[in-house]
Structure 1
Amino acid sequence: MTHDTNYHMNRRTALKTTLGATALAVAGCLSDEPETADFRIGGPWEPNRDPHDGGSSLRRLGITEALVAVDYEANPAPGLATDWERLDDRRWQFDLREGVTFHDGTSLDAAAAVESLRRTVDSSAFAAVPIETVEAVDESTVNVETETAFSPLPSHLSRNEAVLLSPDAIEADGSITDPISTGPFALESFRSGSEVRIVRHDDYYGETPSFESVRYEVVDDDQTRRMKLENGELEMARVLPNEMVDDLEAEDDIDVYTPEIPRIRFLTFDTTTEPFDDERVRRAVHYAVDRESITESILDGIDDPAVGPFSPTVTDWANPDLEDHSSDPDRARSLLSEAGWSADSNDVRSRDGEELAVEFVTFDARSLPLIGQTLQDQLADVGFDVDITTMEYSAMVDRVGQDAFDAYLTSWGTLWHPDPDRLSEMFHSTDATLHHGYENHRVDELLEEGRELTDRDERLERYHEVQSIVVDEAPIVVLTDYANVVATAAGVSGYEPHPTESRYGLESLEYDSE
């Protein structure tokens, strides 16, 4: 990649602030004196200063912004670029928004955007994105060239890792200490693993926030987040358990939101080893599962049953014609019999003297162990002997990535960038990061065409076909969609949950404590 630029950048301009004489306390801890904020949020996730290393919270809080935003239909939308054009198969042009100021007082121009984007392109986070060059054409225009035709480029440039940072935020070694960006809020102070304080960016080009200051507090215990909200110590509590919804809705001074987000819970099979190298056995699991029972008994009816990777209520990239998710144990039994797994008088299945015993591995989050126990019972009804093993997430990933396994129960966001090319990471024979070993030439062909085509309808046709094939051949079995539970004080107005959770929309909120 070339690193030439048409503009000279002063990398050590004096740091300014929109609060006049108040300096940004970005370097370290807060004072011991109690501090207040106009709005207080509690969530389980620990923010990170660097967008390339868990910096999604900075985006959600309104500190960082990218060239491309994500609208409330889960599609790419103007962000720091007001428009973009595909000049040919490989070249794209992005027109920068005028009048944008970084939190340090400097203006956003193409040279600054290029410096930030090149850091992104060189990062491991973008290793699979085929960007070849990023260049400033003039002060307000950035051109990006890809190695191959790549339609999802705008979507990838909406990712948290692609936010634009001031050149002064990038240290000589490429590290980030002060995440200086362009959002409606600027970082005031950062206490690692504890809390982040942000202040209004008074020179913001867009909607001016009503809050002068916001505090995000890391509260990893669900009950503690709830109590802090109920006790008036928070105005917003995020990622609460489904089982709290009924009780919270019964409280007059609390509002509850349960928006569906593009995330699924699913089983991934090792399609290269017995018994799940046989499509009929995988499909038997599909039909044996009672998804309605799972969502009602474990997920309190908040989440919905699902069969495909995308939800039609979130995006039209979802294939609306996939077969329904009704349980059909008799069909499951028939498929197992066809595959040679015969049942004895106790409905225990075996083949060549070996019982149909399998292990599902999972991790302790998103109700997965409880779902695993229910799957154990449902699959036993058709002849599977299922053992559930729960371990740390990283240990699970290491295990299924290195050794043969039967299946693992996990959860993924399916539109972490708003393009169906996410299906390539799920099902392409060489690009997939799911450990299923699944290969289908037609699926590969459709996914590769989808990456190249410009016309949305033509792309839609291909991605719909991919979804039909993978549901039928079942390298994974999708179980449920996912709803995020958020509760606010009743005096909070203007909150609209974002479908991909890329932003909390704090600049649009108001709070009346009376």
Structure 2
Amino acid sequence: MNHVRRRATMTGALMLASALALTGCFAGGSADASAGGGARIRLAMAIAPSSGLSPYSDDASDLSRWDATESLAQLDESGNPQPSLATSWKQIDDKTWEFAIRTGVTFQDGTKLDAKAVVNSLQKALDAKTRPSVLGGIDLKLSAPDDSTVRIVTATSDPVLPARLSNPQLAILSAAAYKADGTVSAVGTGTGPFKITNVGGTSTVTLDRYDGYWGQKAKAAGIDVTFVTDGTARAAALRSGAADIAAALPVSQFSLMDPKLLHEVPMPRTTSIYFNNSKGVFADPSMRAAARAVLDPKAIVSNVYEGHADAAQGLFGPAIPWAKDLRGNTASSIAPGDAKGKQITLATYTDRSELPEDAVLVQQQLEKAGFVVKQDIRQYSNLSKDALHGAFDIVIGSRSSALDTGDPVGYLRSDYTCKGTGYVLAQLCNPEIDQAIANASTQKLGPDRQKAVMGVEAMLLQQDVVVPLVNERAVQGEAAGVNGAVRDPYERRLVTNETTVAR
């Protein structure tokens, strides 16, 4: 038995006891006769809200996964934008687009969706003190020529604008969502088939079916969400029947689960070592090279993931099918320096159960190079502020490369530019890389854009900005009675109006 798995087994009894205690926190989930519909769906989510369920944060993906909010478009399985609150769109010229807004839609507070409401919602996102990452570096002029048309003029050509507007951070909300103090609330202000009726801090969320939904009424009476950041607890909740769907189940629990309940999905998500490129030990390229030289992704995949992941060849794994064939030379030419006695702090978070185990092996590997490693491991909501402000020398993080638009350029702009607004763990500001990302953003969807993306990947890896460790596969747990849950590699959909559970 390897060191990491032995560690997990030793703590397993205590964690399982805590997990079983948590099952009492889940709602009963029986059929709700008063709502005239099927059983409520109980979710065990992996990551607690870090920004009060603000749609302008990473919390927006949860709002979308619960079908509480909707955007103008949505991505299909191939990552191409499809109609949602916009029924169609057309490009008038290089910078001008028009979107036809769906008629007969009401917000969950009873107000009407029309072109002016869409313009108001998108303008609020543009004017936000902290813009949604999908709008980083993007300027738009919005207008409503009539009640069912939204015209958008971009400052520069934006070939992926419809895909950009599919982002959950650009959910269209009613006017009541936008408060005088600048905060935004999706509680009862979306357009989806489920309406948020209660938020229990970072512990629970309750959603009821919205019977005024413009599409087919939800088959389930509602959704009861519990945030269970410990992976063992999520698995126990599914096994015990306390949860119907459990997100991001850890590999350590697979042997205890009925294989029929486990559903594996290749993800455009990579676990990486993010060096702090701006200050500290790893501002020195030779120290980044020294660390990179001893890191062994294959050992991590074997020992931590037990083969349920892929040793990373780059930032873009098997879920991005064109990446492998277009990948050029990513080898670093930087000579490793002498790391002996260099003290560093390595941070990661507990919300993704494998990351603390990754940290154990990464520490061992770095110590072989002479680094003196101190770990700082917390829940993401407690760690993120420090991590995003450069408090650590290394952060081990898990990041989807398709979160913003389904197209990797948005991810690259958000995370690796001087004005990055997203997961800026690398603390990078390199004008040459900025220009390469800007050039990629001007290309139309297709081979030229793909080649430009892979050129940026090569620059990042050649300079040891980041070391990809694992291209991930998500494992979603679903009880035997669940039907119609979405297994979405883009992590935008989970429960829909079609999802049911039979008990």
Determine if the TM-score, normalized by the shorter chain, exceeds 0.5: yes
For 1:262-277, list aligned pairs within 5 A: 262-271=268-277, 276=282
Partner of 1:292: 298
Does the C-alpha gap of structure 1 residues 490 and 323 become closer, same or farther in structure 2, counting only changes over 3 Å? farther
State the TM-score, normalizing by the size of structure 2: 0.79
For 1:256-405, list aligned pairs within 5 A: 256-271=262-277, 276=282, 282-283=288-289, 285-311=291-317, 313-316=318-321, 318-322=323-327, 341=337, 355=340, 357-365=342-350, 366=352, 367-381=354-368, 383-392=369-378, 398=386, 401=389
Aligned equivalents of 1:34 and 1:492: distance in 2? 15
Partner of 1:51: 55
State the TM-score, normalizing by the size of structure 1: 0.77
Offset, 1:225: 3.0
Offset, 1:449: 1.7
Offset, 1:384: 3.3
Query: Is the 1:319–1:467 contact (alpha carbons within 8 Å) kept by the matching residues of 2?
Result: no
Aligned equivalents of 1:219 and 1:395: distance in 2? 17
Partner of 1:64: 69
Which structure has the greater CA radius of gyration?
1
Query: Is the 1:307–1:471 contact (alpha carbons within 8 Å) kept by the matching residues of 2?
Result: no
1:110 aligns with 2:110: no
Which of the pair is proportionally richer in helix?
2
Q: Report the RMSD for the aligned CA atoms in angstroms.
A: 3.3
Identity of aligned residues (%): 26
Partner of 1:496: 486
Query: Is the 2:232–2:253 contact (alpha carbons within 8 Å) kept by the matching residues of 1?
Result: no
Query: Is the 2:46–2:228 contact (alpha carbons within 8 Å) kept by the matching residues of 1?
Result: yes
Aligned equivalents of 2:94 and 2:425: distance in 1? 29
1:428 aligns with 2:417: yes
Does the C-alpha gap of structure 1 residues 216 and 368 become closer, same or farther in structure 2, counting only changes over 3 Å? closer
3-state SS of paired residue (1:197): strand
Gaps spanning 5+ residues in structure 1: where? 1-32, 326-330, 342-348
Does the C-alpha gap of structure 1 residues 428 and 232 become closer, same or farther in structure 2, counting only changes over 3 Å? closer
Aligned equivalents of 1:491 and 1:406: distance in 2? 46
The correspondence for 1:143, drawn from 151, 155, 177, is 151
3-state SS of paired residue (1:485): strand
* CA distances 1:270-318 after superposition (whole Å, capped 9, x unpaired): 446787566565445444322121012112322221132222x323463
* CA distances 1:373-409 after superposition (whole Å, capped 9, x unpaired): 312333455x433413215466675478467x75433
1:165 aligns with 2:173: yes
Aligned equivalents of 1:34 and 1:285: distance in 2? 49
Gaps spanning 5+ residues in structure 2: where? 1-26, 32-38
Aligned equivalents of 2:90 and 2:246: distance in 1? 40
For 1:94-109, list aligned pairs within 5 A: 94-109=99-114
Report the residue type matching 2:200 in the other structure: R
Query: Is the 1:256–1:488 contact (alpha carbons within 8 Å) kept by the matching residues of 2?
Result: yes
1:213 aligns with 2:202: no
3-state SS of paired residue (2:261): strand
The correspondence for 1:225, drawn from 226, 229, 234, is 234
Offset, 1:241: 1.9
Does the C-alpha gap of structure 1 residues 176 and 475 become closer, same or farther in structure 2, counting only changes over 3 Å? closer
Report the residue type matching 1:128 in the other structure: G
3-state SS of paired residue (1:359): strand
Aligned equivalents of 1:224 and 1:268: distance in 2? 28
* CA distances 1:232-269 after superposition (whole Å, capped 9, x unpaired): 2221122322211221135xxx6112323332221223
Query: Is the 2:271–2:396 contact (alpha carbons within 8 Å) kept by the matching residues of 1?
Result: yes
Aligned equivalents of 1:457 and 1:298: distance in 2? 35
Aligned residues: 454
Report the residue type matching 1:86 in the other structure: Q
Query: Is the 1:68–1:158 contact (alpha carbons within 8 Å) kept by the matching residues of 2?
Result: yes
Partner of 2:407: 419
1:40 aligns with 2:42: yes
* CA distances 1:140-191 after superposition (whole Å, capped 9, x unpaired): 1111223333334333322222111123444555543743222122234443
Does the C-alpha gap of structure 1 residues 406 and 512 become closer, same or farther in structure 2, counting only changes over 3 Å? closer
Aligned equivalents of 1:451 and 1:399: distance in 2? 27
Aligned equivalents of 2:29 and 2:416: distance in 1? 49
Aligned equivalents of 2:234 and 2:364: distance in 1? 33
3-state SS of paired residue (1:505): coil
Aligned equivalents of 1:503 and 1:69: distance in 2? 10
* CA distances 1:85-118 after superposition (whole Å, capped 9, x unpaired): 3333332221212333333444421011112222
Query: Is the 2:281–2:344 contact (alpha carbons within 8 Å) kept by the matching residues of 1?
Result: no
3-state SS of paired residue (2:309): coil
3-state SS of paired residue (2:87): strand
Report the residue type matching 1:388 in the other structure: K
Partner of 1:486: 476
Query: Is the 1:307–1:322 contact (alpha carbons within 8 Å) kept by the matching residues of 2?
Result: no
Report the residue type matching 2:319 in the other structure: V
Aligned equivalents of 1:396 and 1:190: distance in 2? 21
3-state SS of paired residue (1:368): helix
Partner of 1:439: 430
